[in-house]
Amino acid sequence: MQNKYQSVRPIFDPIRPHVFIETYGCQMNVSDSEVVLSILQDAGYSLCDNIDEASLVLINTCAVRDNAEQRILGRLDVFRLAKKKNHALKVGVLGCMAERLKEELLSHPVVDLVVGPDAYRDLPKLLAAISADGKQINTILSHEETYADISPVRMDKYSVSAYISIMRGCNNICSYCVVPYTRGAERSRDPQTILREAKDLFENGYKEITLLGQNVDSYFWKNSDSAKDINFAQLIEQVALIDPSIRVRFSTSHPKDISDELLHTIAAHDNICKHIHLPVQSGSNAMLEKMNRKHTREWYLSRIKTIRRIIPGCAITTDVIVGFCSESEQDHQDTLSLFREVGFDSAFMFQYSERPGTKAAKHFPDDVPPEVKTARLNEIIALQNTLSLESNRRDVGKCFEVLIEGPSKRSDKDMVGRTSQNKTCVFKDNGFKVGEYVKVRVVDCSSATLLCEVI
**CATH code where residue 342 lies:** 3.30.750.200
Half-sphere exposure of 343 (CA within 13 A, CB side): 11
Domain end (from 344, 378, 394): 394
Let me know: does 89 contact 111? Beta carbons within 8 Å: no
Q: In this predicted structure, what is the pLDDT of residue 137?
A: 96
Is residue 30 situated within a structural domain? yes
Based on the fold, state whether residues 125 and 32 are members of the same structural domain.
Answer: yes
Tens of pLDDT, residue by residue over 11-67, are: 788 899 999 999 999 999 999 999 999 999 999 999 999 999 999 999 999 998 888
- State the Cα–Cα distance between residues 442 and 436, nearest whole angstrom: 18
Beta bridge partners of 317: 277, 346
Q: What percent of the chain has pLDDT over 90?
A: 89
Exposed / middle / buried, residue 417 (Cβ in 10 Å: 0-12, 13-18, 19+): buried
Of 394, 415, 434, the one marking the end of a domain is: 394
Q: For residues 208-230, give the mean pLDDT.
A: 91
Instruction: Give yes or no: residues 106 and 184 share one domain.
Output: no
- Confidence band of 158 (pLDDT split at 50, 70, 90): confident
pLDDT bin (cut points 50, 70, 90) of residue 227 is confident
Cα-to-chain-centroid distance, residue 281 = 17
3-state secondary structure of 340: helix
Mean pLDDT of 114-127: 97
Whether residues 85 and 58 fall in one domain: yes
- Let me know whether 378 and 298 are in one domain: yes
Instruction: Identify the bridge partners of residue 364 per DSSP, sorted by sequence position.
Output: none
- Based on the domain organization, do 268 and 295 belong to the same domain? no
- Claim to verify: residue 261 and residue 239 sit in the same structural domain: yes
Whether residue 145 is contained in a domain is answered as: no
118 three-class SS: coil
Do 387 and 426 reside in the same domain of the chain?
no
Instruction: Tell me the C-alpha distance between 299 and 285, whole Å.
Output: 10
Mean pLDDT of 277-306: 98
Which among 181, 262, 255 has a CA at the least distance from the CA of 220?
262
Same domain, 115 and 205: no
CATH at residue 45 = 3.40.50.12160
Q: What is the pTM of this model?
A: 0.94
Whether 284 has a pLDDT exceeding 50, the answer reads yes
- What integer best gives the mean pLDDT of the chain? 94
The CATH number linked to 420 is: 2.40.50.140
Q: How confident is the model at residue 1 (pLDDT cuts 50, 70, 90)?
A: very low
Domain identity same for 174 and 264: yes
Residue 228 confidence (pLDDT): 87
- Contact yes or no for 388/406 (Cβ under 8 A): no
Residue 132 — pLDDT band, cuts 50, 70, 90?
low
**Is the domain of 415 the same as that of 388?**
no
For residue 407, the enclosing domain spans 399-454
Which pLDDT value is given to residue 5?
41
pLDDT at 226: 66
Measuring CA to CA, how many Å separate 57 from each of 15, 43, 88, 210, 311?
Answer: 17, 15, 11, 27, 45
List b or e across 145-163, with b for residues whose CB sees 16 or more CB atoms inside 10 angstroms. Answer: bbbbebbbbbbeeeebbbb
pLDDT on residue 10: 83
Q: Is residue 318 part of a domain?
A: yes
Whether residues 288 and 251 share a domain: the answer is no
Indicate if the alpha-carbon torsion angle 418, 421, 423, 429 is positive or negative. negative
Q: Is the pLDDT of residue 154 over 50?
A: yes
Angle at 348 between CA 215 and CA 32, to 5 degrees: 50
Structural domain contains residue 81: yes
Number of domains in the chain: 4
Residue 234 sits in the same domain as residue 321:
no
